[in-house]
Structure 1
């Protein structure tokens, strides 16, 4: 199973590394590059559908107009109601055109996203890849042109909004004459509305008769009447806006009522959010924040929500030609938080599984918990990359570019990370194993993470060890397969002692010791061997097999058997030597004097020589 998973992982990785990516050179190229590429494409098979499509796309790219923005219009402060009506009408027209261009841009972005996924899923040798790249470049050029036009309309709209905002300060408004004009327009508006309803009924009658000629003529007449109706509506909106400005000039709360009438009268949905924003901003400036909040309606709340939503969706920057906004970043943050919370939840649940379950050991629980935890984190990471518009092929390119820096700066971290994965898969070291790294460091494994492994020594000290130490260095696992270990306990006796006597005495003592942890089989049994004849003693070693928890306390176990050996040698009158040296003097200077005892020994030697 592990081999199959590894094979699948390698296959997916190789596919991602060989997958194509966006050709930014084509996107940023000019007409000379497209013309040169067109000459190359024309030399290929003229009957091929791909070649014909590529030629058409290149011709379109060459014939695209220069992306220079049109000159922005300038507007002046209106001096009378007629100029105000003209300026307001022009503002609505600009907002309508801007909305159409934004809709076209959204459609282009959808097409570009589809093409991008096709490019990323194509291999570098795919014959359709150049077609995808050229089509993407064509869409990107059109998008850039639309963005410049939208930017120009936004600047013009902003300029008009500033002028409209100043109207209560700069324009004298005749409320009485405007009120009379509004009353006449409302009567005309009502009559025109009834006329349109009558025309609609008449149209349905003609449809039933099936007279196409009369229907066409009727349709033209109906369109003309509909245009008159729309113009009356625009005129009413302009008059209501002037009366709204008059109320603001007088700091009258009636301005809030005029706001509702303006929004109700405005039939066209285009520019509605901008209109609401303009009215609210003017109310805040001329009436104050508290009065404006007191008159806030459902429409005002909706405007606030729409404004916040638009702010969240406003692009901050682009990654791989994908716009990134505050909402994307918020979603990424939520995905990461949920990933860590869900991963931690599953990790705790698995670690708290029943400890008495023989089929689900502590090591298996922690291994499974860590694997699921990091798997969820990886899924959260790749989902976040998808939200931001970053694909795996782009990551592979970035990883290749940063490989040198990673190799020098993060080599230890990466090495520990990979070593942790190897330890979890091979399971040569498991939770609960008793391991020894060197003479002074041994203990139980309590945790294996991606970066490090924790062991607890017999002195109850937790030691955190980087995982690469277990891969690069020798590690002794005392409990890898079983809990049986042979202890080799050295001791020595005095020269002149019979070796067999020593062996018999120690073996008898071990046999009669009553230690229940001594292990004995046909192949594993206690023995005593003579190892060397040292400077001061004849040296032996006791080989004894021990089974159980006592093997995890080597110093304590060794001490137990050393005491047993000491008592056995003492009971059998076998002398245990200690280091000593004999000093022989060959000559002494006459000026050096010796103690009396030493002089007496010299005199005795002289007497013996004479005799």
Structure 2
């Protein structure tokens, strides 16, 4: 084709040039036996993949499907493999196309058409993977905006060209210099590594928390150590992938050290205090503690910076770890030890007080939460009040007198019923008024 385009705008001339070039390439392909052979092999690869998939997939489904009530690790692995069966068709087509490419290159010395078809099958496999198999939102997002574009560029043959261009473009940050490709590789690899680190940390924490023979504080410490190890390895691997030598991070490490020494000293203090608490085991999840300012609650969560207490009215109190080291903390739980409680009551002055201790001890001992060890319930005479004789009963329980364990209320009910049963009067306040020099009635 010999067209005079000198009078046309440059963009039109360029577009027509590309169109003519594409037409000539397509014409060569249409008239080339090698191109027809590659088209035929692509069609044959796809048909063979369809036929083989229809025969294999029912068998694999039957073999990989575990019983409905099976929860073993092997059963979970079989279910996971079962989810990948939609990949069977594009992967088989890709494999057959790869074999056909080797054949055409050995016979005709070229394989451009079938190589493009092979890349297309790979793109279809990636699309099925992202759309039907991956369920994690982060991985699905990464697959949609990273994996699919990369595979599409590979399919059209532009991936190597773009990679070379990104490798030649460098970015400098202080004494560290790296290419844009290294930066992109670091962002993608870092996202995957830290996602994998988070998943591994969740799995290891769940496994450690199932070890009932370990003390709660030991489990917490092991979980924190595993978290530090996992993310530390992820960081080192990321630096190696980006090609950043660890020695070049000395300046950054020094800056972080200065920051810890000034602005971040409280964070560092709380973190170190948390490690000390885990090592000593003085306070851990499940303990009921009372702070120096009078606030009290159950420890429901520990973090690197603080402990979270839940009060009986459902509120959460965030207490820095440093407070557990530098202030007075009362731990009522102490890994399940008993606590002594006390309830006061009074009886009338008409009562034979020698009978009261046995009656009350018998009544309080009937409560299922009251312990006989380290000491049984004990009734003490406290004094002679204005309205009655004051007593107090002390008893030991596992727990505290609040929330689901209303020990004091239950014991007061038992005392009331026992005194009523023995006709012992519980006094109420009264006064005797004496009038002197009062006028006599006439």
State the TM-score, normalized to the length of structure 2: 0.55
Kindly report which structure 2 residues correspond to 1:311-390, keeping only aligned pairs within 5 A, or say none. Answer: 311-320=166-175, 322-353=176-207, 358-360=212-214, 365-384=219-238, 387-389=243-245
* Aligned equivalent of 1:100: none
User: Residue 604 of structure 1: SS of its match in structure 2?
Assistant: coil
CA distance in 1 between counterparts of 2:2 and 2:213 reads 80
Given candidates 602, 607, 610, the residue that maps to 2:438 is 602
On the 8 A contact 2:204/2:226 being kept in 1, the answer is no
Aligned alpha-carbon RMSD (Å): 4.5
CA distance in 2 between counterparts of 1:500 and 1:304 reads 97
CA distance in 2 between counterparts of 1:291 and 1:425 reads 76
Unaligned runs of 5+ in 2: 26-110, 113-152
Q: Does 1:572 align with 2:429?
A: no
Question: After superposition, what is the alpha-carbon deviation per residue over 1:574-605, rounded to whole angstroms, capped at 9, x for unaligned?
Answer: 4333445667789xxxxxxxxxxxxxx93228
CA distance in 2 between counterparts of 1:304 and 1:356 reads 47
On the 8 A contact 1:525/1:544 being kept in 2, the answer is yes
* Aligned equivalent of 1:451: 305
Change in Cα spacing, 1:506 to 1:310, as seen in structure 2 (3 Å) is same
Given candidates 492, 503, 522, the residue that maps to 2:357 is 503
Kindly report which structure 2 residues correspond to 1:95-110, keeping only aligned pairs within 5 A, or say none. Answer: none
**Per-residue deviation, 1:424:** 2.6
* Aligned equivalent of 2:164: 309
* Aligned equivalent of 1:393: 250
Change in Cα spacing, 1:317 to 1:291, as seen in structure 2 (3 Å) is farther
On the 8 A contact 1:446/1:455 being kept in 2, the answer is yes
Kindly report which structure 2 residues correspond to 1:56-135, keeping only aligned pairs within 5 A, or say none. Answer: none
User: Residue 508 of structure 1: SS of its match in structure 2?
Assistant: helix
Question: After superposition, what is the alpha-carbon deviation per residue over 1:153-202, rounded to whole angstroms, capped at 9, x for unaligned?
Answer: xxxxxxxxxxxxxxxxxxxxxxxxxxxxxxxxxxxxxxxxxxxxxxxxxx
On the 8 A contact 2:383/2:391 being kept in 1, the answer is yes
On the 8 A contact 1:328/1:388 being kept in 2, the answer is no
* Aligned equivalent of 1:518: 370
CA distance in 2 between counterparts of 1:499 and 1:532 reads 12
On the 8 A contact 2:163/2:181 being kept in 1, the answer is no
Given candidates 376, 382, 389, the residue that maps to 1:531 is 382
Change in Cα spacing, 1:466 to 1:555, as seen in structure 2 (3 Å) is same
Q: For this pair of structures, how many residues does the alignment match?
A: 308
User: Residue 336 of structure 2: SS of its match in structure 1?
Assistant: coil
Flag the structure with higher helix content.
Answer: 1
Kindly report which structure 2 residues correspond to 1:22-61, keeping only aligned pairs within 5 A, or say none. Answer: none
On the 8 A contact 1:494/1:575 being kept in 2, the answer is yes
CA distance in 2 between counterparts of 1:574 and 1:351 reads 58
**Per-residue deviation, 1:559:** 0.9
* Aligned equivalent of 2:413: 563
**Per-residue deviation, 1:564:** 1.2
Question: After superposition, what is the alpha-carbon deviation per residue over 1:235-281, rounded to whole angstroms, capped at 9, x for unaligned?
Answer: xxxxxxxxxxxx999679xxxxxxxxxxxxxxxxxxxxxxxxxxxx9
Q: Does 1:442 align with 2:297?
A: yes
**Per-residue deviation, 1:317:** 1.6
CA distance in 2 between counterparts of 1:294 and 1:364 reads 73
Question: After superposition, what is the alpha-carbon deviation per residue over 1:70-117, rounded to whole angstroms, capped at 9, x for unaligned?
Answer: xxxxxxxxxxxxxxxxxxxxxxxxxxxxxxxxxxxxxxxxxxxxxxxx
Flag the structure with larger Rg. Answer: 1
On the 8 A contact 2:332/2:400 being kept in 1, the answer is no
Change in Cα spacing, 1:577 to 1:381, as seen in structure 2 (3 Å) is farther
CA distance in 2 between counterparts of 1:312 and 1:536 reads 94
On the 8 A contact 2:170/2:179 being kept in 1, the answer is yes
Question: After superposition, what is the alpha-carbon deviation per residue over 1:487-540, rounded to whole angstroms, capped at 9, x for unaligned?
Answer: 2222233456554333233123234x3x3433224x522211233455555432
Change in Cα spacing, 1:478 to 1:402, as seen in structure 2 (3 Å) is closer
Question: After superposition, what is the alpha-carbon deviation per residue over 1:273-309, rounded to whole angstroms, capped at 9, x for unaligned?
Answer: xxxxxxxx999947556556777897x9778723543
User: Residue 432 of structure 1: SS of its match in structure 2?
Assistant: coil
Question: After superposition, what is the alpha-carbon deviation per residue over 1:321-347, rounded to whole angstroms, capped at 9, x for unaligned?
Answer: x31332332343244323432232223
CA distance in 2 between counterparts of 1:411 and 1:508 reads 57
Change in Cα spacing, 1:303 to 1:398, as seen in structure 2 (3 Å) is same
* Aligned equivalent of 2:391: 540
On the 8 A contact 1:249/1:286 being kept in 2, the answer is no
On the 8 A contact 2:217/2:278 being kept in 1, the answer is no
Kindly report which structure 2 residues correspond to 1:480-495, keeping only aligned pairs within 5 A, or say none. Answer: 480-494=334-348
State the TM-score, normalized to the length of structure 1: 0.42
**Per-residue deviation, 1:479:** 3.0
**Per-residue deviation, 1:434:** 3.7
Change in Cα spacing, 1:405 to 1:310, as seen in structure 2 (3 Å) is farther
Unaligned runs of 5+ in 1: 1-246, 253-280, 587-600
Change in Cα spacing, 1:327 to 1:583, as seen in structure 2 (3 Å) is farther
CA distance in 2 between counterparts of 1:457 and 1:493 reads 35
CA distance in 2 between counterparts of 1:328 and 1:498 reads 91
Given candidates 303, 317, 324, the residue that maps to 1:470 is 324
